[in-house]
Every structure is written in C-alpha cells, then in structure tokens.
C-alpha cells in the first residue's frame, strides 16, 4: 500500500483543509467543543463525516487527533483480523483498526484500497481507524429521533451508533449517523 493517487487525488487537498479546520476549532473552542443552542436544531459540534461501506457516519472532532492517508501499515501476527497492524505516525506507534472488518461490514478481500484513516484518541487508547472515505468536517445539528428511521438490518455496527444528525448542504439537509468513537475505543481494547 504505497503511493497511490487516483480518483482521490483531491484527498490531500481535503485533508489539508480538514486539518486546518481542526486546528481552528481547537483554537477557538479548546478541546471540548463549544455547544451552542440553536432555535430549532441543537448544534452538536463539529464532526468529521466519513463513509464506511454504504453508510455515512460522523465522529466528533473532539475525539479526533488527526486524519490522514493510510500508509505503511505493518501487520503483526497473532492479532485479530480487524487489527491491521501498526503504523508510524511521526515516530509514534499507533495501531490500525479496520472497523469495516470489526463490524463485519466488508470482508478483507473486497475492501477498497486507498482508504483514509482517522486517528482517534480518548486519552487512553489511540488507534487509527480505517474508513472508506473522509467527506468533510461539518457542524452537525441534532436530529429528533423519529421512529420512521429505516429499520435496517441489525448489525454489530448498530450498537456503535449514537443517533443521527443533519447538516446543511446548500438547501438540502443531509443526514449522517453519529458514530460512537468512545465506545469503539473501549470495546476494541485488547
């Protein structure tokens, strides 16, 4: 998995803007993101939105250390399949977790290449989570739980979703599901 630049040539660009936004947010709000209330929809802070399989998920920025391209994973023996190995992020050794495998969404064989990683860290455990695509960082608004949410098939992933939220993209409201990174970090502990 070395240098590969194809359809995601704009990824670096995107990552750069995201990194910038992270630092801006951190500058502005400190670590705990400021949560202000809106008239109708409650802001729930900035999130990094990503695709995993056919899902659109979002993880709060407060958990995210950095995002980046996936490179130089060194696999280790005797680890569960979903631990891809370790990688070197500026001298720090970080494990790489393939949550698609962890949630049984995709098989190892059919997963796409060139995926991005989101390094999440809750103070204790730090891991790089492989996702299919990072789409944006967005300010999300809480969406009232409506019972009419599509009752998709129950998967392991369902247990790691903490609700859904919306963001505004032009006129439209786009919906994403909130991914509970904390729970992930506590459950992947080995």
Partner 1 sequence: MNSSLGSDIVTGFIGEVEGYLPDMSRCLQTLQQDRAHRPSLAELHRITHTIKGAAAMVGLNDLSGIGEVLEKVMENVLEASLVLDDETITLLGDATQRIDSYCMMQRDGRAGDGRHFLKTVAEIEEKICRSTVASDEVEGSSAGSNPETILFEQGAEDDVALETAPEVLDDFFAEVDTKPSEDAESIFDEISSSVSLVEEEAEEDNDLFGSVVVTEQFVSSEERLSSSERGQAGPVQEGAETTAIDPELLECFCEETEEHLENIDNCLNSLEEDITDLVELTPSTQEILHSLRRSVHTLKGAAAVIGIEQIAAWGHDFEDFLDWLHDEARRLDSPTVAALRDGADLLASLTEEPTSPAEQEKQRIIATFEGITEGFSSNSTVSDGNEDEGIASSLIFDEVENTLDLSEESAVDFFAEDDSEVSEKTDSLFDEIVSSASLVEDIEEENDLFGSSAIEQLETSEEVSAFGESGQTGRENAEIEDIDPELLECFREETEEHIENIDSCLNTLAGQITDSVALTPSTQETLHSLRRSVHTLKGAAAVIGIEPVAAWGHDFEDFLDWLHDEARKLDAPIIVLLRQGSDLLAEISEDPSCPVEQRKHDLNSQFKKIITGGVRKEKSVDPAFFPEEEDALEEQQGGEGADNFFDELPEISGADEQVVQVVSKDIDRELLQCFHEEAEEHLDNIDRQLNHLGMTISGETELSDLRRGALHSIRRSVHTLKGAAAVIGIEQIAAWGHKFEDFLDWLHDEARSIHPEVVKAMQEGADILIRLVEDPNGSVRADQQGILSKFTRIITDDVGKSAIPAIDNMDAETVEETDSSLFSDQVSGGKTTTAPVQQSQSKKTATLRVDINRIDQMVGLSGDMVINLSSFEDSMDAASGTMKELDMILQRLKNINSSLEAGYELASIPHLGSQDDSQVSGINEDFDPLEMDRYSELNILIRSLSEAVSDLDSIMAQNALDNVAREKTVERQSMVLKELQNRMMGVRMTPLSTLSSRMHRTVREAERTTGHSARLIIDGESIMMDTRVWDVMADPLMHILRNAVAHGGSLPQKAGREPLSITIQAIRRGGQCTLQVSDNGKGLDYEAIRVKGMKLYPNDRVNLMSDSELADLIFKHGFSSTGSITNIAGRGVGMDVVRDAIDQLNGSIELVSERGQGTEFIMRLPVAVAQLPAILARFGTQIYAIPMHDLASVVRATSEEKKGREYTFDGEAIPLLHPAKVPGFEIGRGYVKKNLTEDDQALLIVHAGRKRAAVLCEQLIGQRDIVFKDLGTHLHNVPCISGVTIMGNGTLIPILQVEEVLQKWSSVIKRRDEGPAAVRSVDERGPLRILVVDDSISVRKVVSNFITQQGWIPIAARNGIEAIEEIRREKPDVILLDVEMPRMNGFEVLQALQAQPELRDIPVAMLTSRSAGKYQEKARGLGARGFMTKPFKEDEVIRFIHKETSDE
Site residues, partner 1 (CB under 8 A): 72, 74-80, 82-83, 86-88, 91-95, 97, 102-104, 121, 124-127, 153-156, 158-159, 187-190
DSSP code string of 55-119: EEEEEEGGGEEEEEE----B--TTS-TTEEEEEEETTEEEEEEEHHHHTTSS-STT--SS-EEEE
CB 65 within 8 A of CB 21: no
Whichever of 36 and 109 has its CB closer to partner 1, that residue is 109
Q: How far is the CB of 14 from partner 1 (least distance, A)?
A: 23
| Residue located via tokens 């860290």 | 121
Cβ neighbours for 47, distance < 8 A, ≥ 6 positions apart: 58, 59, 60, 61, 137, 138, 139, 140, 165, 176, 178
Cβ 51 vs Cβ 135: under 8 Å: yes
The nearer residue to partner 1, 125 or 175, going by C-beta atoms, is: 125
Residue among 30 and 75 whose Cβ is closer to partner 1: 75
Between 30 and 80, name the residue whose CB sits nearer to partner 1: 80
CB of 105 to partner 1, least distance (A): 9
CB of 126 to partner 1, least distance (A): 5
Residues with Cβ within 8 Å of 65's Cβ and at least 6 positions away in sequence, in order, are: 119, 120, 121, 126
The distance of closest approach from Cβ of residue 107 to partner 1 in the complex, given in angstroms and rounded to an integer, is 11
Q: Is the CB of 17 or the CB of 104 nearer to partner 1?
A: 104
């Amino acid at each position: 998995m070395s240098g590969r630049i194809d359809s995601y040539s704009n990824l670096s660009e995107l990552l750069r803007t995201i990194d910038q936004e992270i630092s801006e947010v951190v500058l502005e709000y400190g670590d705990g993101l400021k949560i202000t209330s809106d008239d109708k929809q409650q802001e729930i802070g900035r999130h990094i939105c990503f695709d995993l399989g056919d899902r659109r998920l979002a993880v709060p920025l407060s958990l995210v250390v950095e995002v980046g391209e996936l490179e130089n994973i060194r696999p280790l023996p005797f680890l569960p399949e979903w631990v891809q190995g370790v990688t070197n992020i500026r001298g720090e050794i970080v494990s790489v977790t393939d949550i698609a495998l962890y949630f049984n969404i995709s098989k190892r064989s059919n997963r796409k290449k060139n995926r991005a990683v989101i390094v999440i860290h809750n103070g204790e455990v730090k891991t790089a989570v492989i996702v299919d695509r990072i789409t944006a960082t967005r300010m999300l608004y809480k969406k009232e739980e409506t019972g009419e949410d599509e009752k998709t098939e129950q998967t392991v992933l369902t247990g790691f979703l903490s609700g859904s939220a919306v963001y505004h993209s032009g006129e439209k409201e786009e919906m994403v599901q909130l991914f509970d990174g904390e729970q992930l970090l506590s459950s992947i502990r080995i």
